Amino acid sequence: MNLKSLKIKPLILSLSLFHAAIAAISWFIFYLSSKNPELIYHSLKSYFIPVDFSTKLAKANWIWLMDNPAWHISFKQLKINSGLKIFQELIHWFIILVDLLFIYLIFNPKRLSDKSISSLSFKEVLVYAAIFSLVGVFSIPNDSSDIYGYIARGAQQVFYDFNPYQSVVADINNWQGQAFFGNILWENNPAPYGPLFIFLCKLIVTISFKNIWLAIFLFKLLSSACLLGTLFFTYKIFNLENLHNRAKLFNIFEPSSILPFIALNPFLFYHCSWNGHNDIVMVFFFMASIYALFKKRFNLSFVLITAAILIKYIALVLLPLIVIYIWKDFYFIDKVSRIPLSLRNLVKYLVPFGLIVSLLMAALLLNHYDFFSADFGEINNNVTLSHKSLFNSLETIYKAIAGRELPVVVKYSFLAAFSLFAAFIYLKFWKGNFSKESELSMEYYDDRYRSLNDAFLNSATYILASLVLIASPKFHSWYLVIVLALAFLTYPEFALVLSISHMLSFTFVDQANILNYILMTLLPSSVYFLRGRRPVT
């Protein structure tokens, strides 16, 4: 096959039509299953159960491929009791293989070498990304029930005036029989998300006018808009950092091809636009914060990173880097512009307005939800749950060999090790020699800014990747979204490899406590780093 003869734009539109066909099929099967509840195990593993929510069927065996999701070591424990489940699995593999085929046809080395991808304008890339996102918005959520959890948190506030941090869905009478609550899997847990996101949940449910379909649409529209916004800020940082002149990827992968790959990435499409995960909302805010930081708009950067933290708390690990960056920025001003680095100038040039707005925004939301009266024990149990992570793999192996649970101290030792690693990264960034007394030209000053920006991006990638992929006892494939936007700017090959390997999360591999982590994260990461790859510099 002459790959160059395949025009790039028709290929991209064909991929969009393929995703639209999947969405149409999922709607058709949903329609059939609504008339025949026994078809509940339908081919696209939708989490929207079209049966009486009060029946045990709706809560038992949530359309997992296997009766026992805790598949441990061997295939002997793989149990398939339904031809429909096998058909479902085959459909998943077919979708993945077709997606990967399209990705190869669009991003293969021959096409990258003739620069047909890098010649696409950002406006064209954004249009294609918008088409992809709209297909996901108008589809039934697949592979995850999280979006129904978001809806339930909003419905708690709108319909019952309950505080999601202090009340749980199970406190509501006959919650199983109500469409806004029937698909939540965490009915006995308080909200694990930040108060800004809980407020957004309330706002979306309010404007959905008690229509579950409109609520689903609005949540996915929010996630898709944030995905497009993330692509925009990645593009702005990309140009600001002058990545076009950096080392090529795979020796032939033009750096300017990074943006189309983010826009056309099936992993991001399924988890952000199709399933509507809120991780991309947080990513949007912290990428916007980083761009504002690099543009020296420190007030705005503080407000945006505060918003990211109030969506999901994990963004808090970026705050020390931002503070250090601002301090070093004033160090440059002192060296180059001869502005005395006094307390007066620090107050004048630093972030008084942004800091005040950030603290006020946080205080209002925390007070509105009486946040500090929440059941933090239950929230902690949810956050530190052992699930599909490195720790979970070790725990499963230990239990299979020793016949008992792994001591809980091991779980917290992972988090303690991450804390030490993060402290090391913060210190290294703080101590980095980004300026010299003897060289004070503005040209050198500009070079040092680029160096400081690079160091910030690399440090942020190290910290987020080590927390999400290694230290966290709880992991889902969509958590990778938190890392990818930065990784595409620092370790693009690594981001490419992981976003492809985690397509396996849509198959039975996702249910494996050991092979899950080994095949999707550990093996591809190890191969990548053992080959001696380095960040883009």
pLDDT at 312 over 80: yes
pLDDT at 298 over 80: yes
What pLDDT is recorded for position 182? 72
Q: How confident is the model at residue 241 (pLDDT cuts 50, 70, 90)?
A: low
Q: Which of 122-131, 403-412, 461-470 has the highest mean pLDDT?
A: 461-470
- Residue 123 identity: K
What pLDDT is recorded for position 376? 67
Q: What is the dihedral of CA 271, 275, 278, 281, to 10 degrees?
A: 70
Residue closest to 324 by CA, chosen among 433, 446, 427, 437: 427
Which residues are paired to 474 by β-bridges? Answer: 387
Q: What is the pLDDT of residues 257-292, one digit of tens each?
A: 678 888 888 899 889 998 899 999 999 999 999 999
* DSSP single-letter state for residue 81: -
Is residue 37 within 8 Å of 57, Cβ to Cβ? yes
Q: 11 or 5, which is more confident?
A: 11
Helices (H), 79-211: 83-107, 109-113, 122-137, 146-160, 195-207
Helix (H) or strand (E) holding 145: none
pLDDT at 462 over 90: yes
Q: 155 or 400, which is more confident?
A: 155
pLDDT at 191 over 80: yes
Q: How confident is the model at residue 311 (pLDDT cuts 50, 70, 90)?
A: very high
Instruction: Give Cβ neighbours of residue 208 (< 8 Å, ≥ 6 apart).
Output: 214, 215, 218
What pLDDT is recorded for position 467? 93
Q: What are phi and psi of 498, to 5 degrees?
A: -70, -40
Q: What are phi and psi of 387, to 5 degrees?
A: -160, 115
Q: What is the pLDDT of residues 479-494, one digit of tens each?
A: 999 999 899 888 888 8
What pLDDT is recorded for position 352? 59
Round to whole Å and give the CA distance between 55 and 62: 13
Q: What is the pLDDT of residues 38-57, one digit of tens each?
A: 444 333 444 444 433 333 33
Mean pLDDT value across residues 497-510? 84
Mean pLDDT value across residues 127-156? 87
Q: What are phi and psi of 474, to 5 degrees?
A: -115, 130
pLDDT at 307 over 50: yes
pTM of the model: 0.85
Mean pLDDT value across residues 77-91? 54
Q: Which of 92-101, 115-124, 436-445 has the highest mean pLDDT?
A: 92-101
pLDDT more than 70, % of the chain: 71
User: 389: helix, coil or strand?
Assistant: coil
- Residue 216 identity: I
Residue spans of the domains in the chain: they are 3-530
Round to whole Å and give the CA distance between 197 and 200: 5
pLDDT at 69 over 90: no
Instruction: Give Cβ neighbours of residue 421 (< 8 Å, ≥ 6 apart).
Output: 462, 463, 466, 471
Mean pLDDT value across residues 158-169? 91
- For residue 377, give both structure tokens: 């024990």
Q: 73 or 123, which is more confident?
A: 123
Q: Rounded to whole angstroms, what are the CA distances from 525 to 358, 441, 466, 517, 522?
A: 37, 41, 12, 11, 5
Q: What is the pLDDT of residues 14-45, one digit of tens each?
A: 888 888 888 887 777 667 666 554 444 333 44
Please state, as a whole number, how many other Cβ atoms lie within 10 Å of the Cβ of residue 474. 17
User: 14: helix, coil or strand?
Assistant: helix
Round to whole Å and give the CA distance between 67 and 60: 10
- For residue 345, give both structure tokens: 């100038």
pLDDT more than 90, % of the chain: 24
Round to whole Å and give the CA distance between 482 and 72: 27
Q: What is the pLDDT of residues 330-389, one digit of tens each?
A: 765 545 444 445 555 555 555 556 777 777 888 888 877 887 776 666 666 666 677 788
Round to whole Å and give the CA distance between 500 and 407: 34
Which residues are paired to 253 by β-bridges? Answer: 249
What pLDDT is recorded for position 450? 58
